[in-house]
Structure 1
Amino acid sequence: MSIWFITGASRGLGAHLTAAALRRGHQVVATARDTANIRSAFPDADDALLPLRLDVTNRAEVTAAVNAAVAQFGQIDVLVNNAGRGHQGALEELTDDEIHALYDVNVFGVVAVTRAVLPVMRSARAGTIVNLSSYGGFQGVPGWGLYTSSKFAVEGFTEALRGEVSDLGITAGVVEPGDFRTDFLDGRSLTASAPMSAYNDTVVGQMRQLPTSANHQQPGDPAKAADRIIDAVDSGTFPERLFVGSDVLDVVTSKIDRVRTEVERQRGDAASTRFSEQ
């Protein structure tokens, strides 16, 4: 039995993770901005579930939630940074407020919660940190640049964190899901910039139709994704990247092939920039 601390636990993949962890006998600190949603989602949960209010952009709430979790269960074995939101818009369409609002949740919120939990795990010399990314954290997507850049940031600092804490008994990795049938494309999770007509006939314009055409039609089953994530944690060997969904494998493989081709094409020119030996 482990103690799980899950952000964004009231709906979507976070709710599926909470349900799966409870089903397997783990204890769960389930956090969200509205704890009533958590209680309604798990009306039969016993003392194994601790619902807590947490807005990841509020540093005082982050500290309070971690302290309450430790007070209740004594430790935190697994942190799942699942809370996040999406945003559509070409780079030129974005406003400063939109940029800061998304990064506050997707990047700075993840950093804040992780920093608050790390001392607890260091004290126990054990723990697993799971940060939710996306195939958009590996491959930039036109019209979704702000969102994908936030996931690139999460992947970058998680790779570094994995090395920083490996000698302390802690591991860290990201989950790269494909498209799963959650409410991610709903208005509660996804915002969009005011469109510029210059982009109407571009890929950006095409992407604007995605929330309507693809919402709740995605190929991935979030319950199965939750089971895969918990299997990976319970195995004790959580990878640097956990791929979830056949579509993400296609995206990752395609980019790796393109990068490998470019590396070989540029190999000689890249090496030619060294100082010449005297």
Structure 2
Amino acid sequence: MTLSMDVTDEAQVKAATATGLERFGRIDVLVNNAGFGLLGAIEECSAEEVGSVYRTNVFGLLNVTRAVLPSMRQHRSGHIINFSSIGGYRSAPGWGIYSSTKFAVEGITEALYGELAPLGIHATVVEPGYFRTNFLDSSSLRQSAAQIPDYAGTVGKTRNIAAERNHQQLGDPTKLAPAILQIVNTDEPPLRSRLGTDTLQAIAEKNAYVEQETVKWQTLSESTNYK
């Protein structure tokens, strides 16, 4: 059974959820994977471009989650899988707006993890690296309409890398679905699932940078407490 809906339309989401529950009686797993990218410098991205990606990547995810949770709570079981990204843990020039939506997904899922655990419901955020899908095509990745020459050395390079990497990504999509199934079929699923060696490398590099910077500025950080 397949239903079409626009995740940004809460009425459509509620109707599709009701139809699914009527047919199957319950929803065991929700996978929030709807989303698209926006490539551009922060200054280059218009309010409408930013709003559009947030309506799908963040508000759409919330619409679907709110629609499904009442049934999961009733049955005291279920698993919510929210797709973030390598960009949900580490941002980079050109990916600021897109990454900010995935940072939001990370925060939402981390809260859900604590809120739902006492109710017997799991929540996991998936952080895939670059998988060989159509994500870097124009069908899934939008470019900011404005392109400012001053950002050619940063965001411009990101645009070139995205074009070169398209359909040459490291991750194998046929191995992603079995990985998700393994997560939902385990008794103690993780809060975060990092998929891809590129994600693992990016996380290690960021963690090392954060630790180094924390140590460097530790004295200042400690100086702000009441004495």
CA offsets, 1:3-34, max 9 Å, x none?
xxxxxxxxxxxxxxxxxxxxxxxxxxxxxxxx
Q: 93, 104, 113: which one pairs with 1:162? A: 113
- Superposed, which structure 2 residues align to 1:3-152 within 5 Å? 50-152=1-103
Q: Report the Cα offset of residue 271 of structure 1.
A: 1.6
How much identity, in percent, do the aligned residues show? 48
Q: Report the Cα offset of residue 203 of structure 1.
A: 1.6
Q: 210, 216, 226: which one pairs with 2:177? A: 226
What is the match of residue 196 of structure 1?
148
* Alignment TM-score, normalising by the size of structure 2: 0.97
CA offsets, 1:166-186, max 9 Å, x none?
101111110000110000011
Separation in 1, partners of 2:208, 2:170: 24
Please say which of residues 98-107 and 207-216 is displaced more in the overlay: 207-216
Separation in 1, partners of 2:176, 2:195: 6
Tell me the secondary structure at the aligned position of residue 2 of structure 2: strand
Separation in 2, partners of 1:227, 1:258: 32
Separation in 1, partners of 2:160, 2:107: 30
Separation in 1, partners of 2:164, 2:6: 30
CA offsets, 1:127-159, max 9 Å, x none?
100000001000011101110000000001110
* Residue identity matched to 1:199: Y
Instruction: After the TM superposition, list the runs of 4 or more consecutive aligned residues in structure 1 that deviate by more than 4 angstroms.
Output: none
Q: 186, 189, 211: which one pairs with 2:137? A: 186
CA RMSD across the alignment: 1.0
Segments of 5+ residues of structure 1 without an aligned counterpart are 1-49
Q: Report the Cα offset of residue 272 of structure 1.
A: 1.8
Separation in 2, partners of 1:255, 1:206: 20
Segments of 5+ residues of structure 2 without an aligned counterpart are none
Separation in 1, partners of 2:140, 2:161: 14
Separation in 2, partners of 1:263, 1:61: 46
Report if the CA contact (8 A) 1:186-1:211 is conserved. Answer: no
Separation in 2, partners of 1:236, 1:72: 27
Tell me the secondary structure at the aligned position of residue 174 of structure 1: strand
Q: 205, 208, 217: which one pairs with 1:266? A: 217
Q: Report the Cα offset of residue 268 of structure 1.
A: 2.6
Higher relative contact order (CA 8 A, sep 6+): 2
* Residue identity matched to 1:182: T
Separation in 2, partners of 1:186, 1:237: 36
